[in-house]
Amino acid sequence: MIELAAGDLSLTLAPQIGGSIAAFRKAGIDIFRPLSAERADAGDVLGVGSFPMLPYANRIDGNQFTFDGVTYRFGPNNGAERFNVHGTGWQSEWQVEDASSTSALLTLERRVAGEPFLYRATQRFALSREGLTLTTSLQNLGPVRMPFGFGHHPWFERDADTQLRFKASHFWLEAPDGVAGSRISLPPELDFSNGAPLPSHWRNNNYSGWDGVAELCFPTRGLTLTIEADPIFENLMLYADPKQSFFCLEPQTNVPCAVNKLEAGEDGLRLVVLKPGEAMAGVVRFGVRSD
């Protein structure tokens, strides 16, 4: 584990467990859901506070897609789920290139025979008294151009009085097996632009046309978290199951199942086609204040 600290903020990184954030705290109060000692010992990436999604975010429908006349196939990679999800970065061991008391640089070079995506990724964590700045880059190391994307998957403990606020233009319906269905204009009952509590029913949907700002208020903890993302992050995924003790709010570049929808001729999916050697990058800032 790598421990960073700035003022009363602390950040714990777990490079070997998917290049993930194990804990993010203010004055000892958890902002992200913390990784327990038991799940850390087991290397359980599904127990972390946040992990990177790359070289694409969310699912690949049918475990395959065709791009530039070539069909690429994938295997399931998340337990009982049918379809491949979140790429390979979250299930890889990352290397520590540099670390200080307030910053760290993690890298991952993925060149696995038979995998469609060959890439180099970096995550730079910079902690200040005001919050965390996370810069992600992704470079195509493969021999052909490919559609790339990335995102981050924070997990939050579900307080009864949690409030969310963010603006978006569209809502993606959920199809079977967690894949993205049709895109619709955002109806008022699903809109968080004026702030609203967590939904009391199942939600596993993408909001596109996100303006890059989200506010999470945790009155019980006396904390407010503000997420500010570069324009490349135009999608925000909300997972909220009232039967669970957590929820997820995930800034990501691409629409879920974007590679499949690109094949079907849809637009506005926010994939970035990188030629060999080309790269993309984006910054997400997590600002924290006491209320």
CATH number for the domain including 203? 2.70.98.10
- In-domain check, residue 251: yes
Q: Domain residues for 215?
A: 52-290
Q: Give pLDDT tens digits for 163-176.
A: 999 999 999 999 99
- Confirm whether 179 is domain-assigned: yes
At 115-162, the pLDDT tens digits run 999 999 999 999 999 999 999 999 999 999 999 999 999 999 999 999
Looking at residue 240, what is its pLDDT?
97
User: What's the CA gap between 204 and 178, in Å, rounded?
Assistant: 7
Residue 46 falls inside a structural domain: no
Residue 27 included in any domain: no
CA-based nearest residue to 57, from 152, 167, 173: 152
pLDDT in tens, 67-123: 999 999 999 999 999 999 999 999 999 999 999 999 999 999 999 999 999 999 999
| Residue 245 pLDDT | 95
Residue 10, domain member (yes or no)? no
Query: Is there a contact between 67 and 146 (Cβ–Cβ < 8 Å)?
Result: yes
The count of residues in the chain is 291
Q: With respect to residue 25, please indicate whether it lies within any of the assigned structural domains.
A: no
Domain count, the chain: 1
Task: For residues 1 and 49, give the distance between their C-alpha atoms in angstroms, rounded to a whole number.
Answer: 13
Residue 74 domain-assigned (yes or no): yes
Give the DSSP letter string of 26-38. Answer: ETTEESSPPPPHH
Predicted TM-score of the model (pTM): 0.96
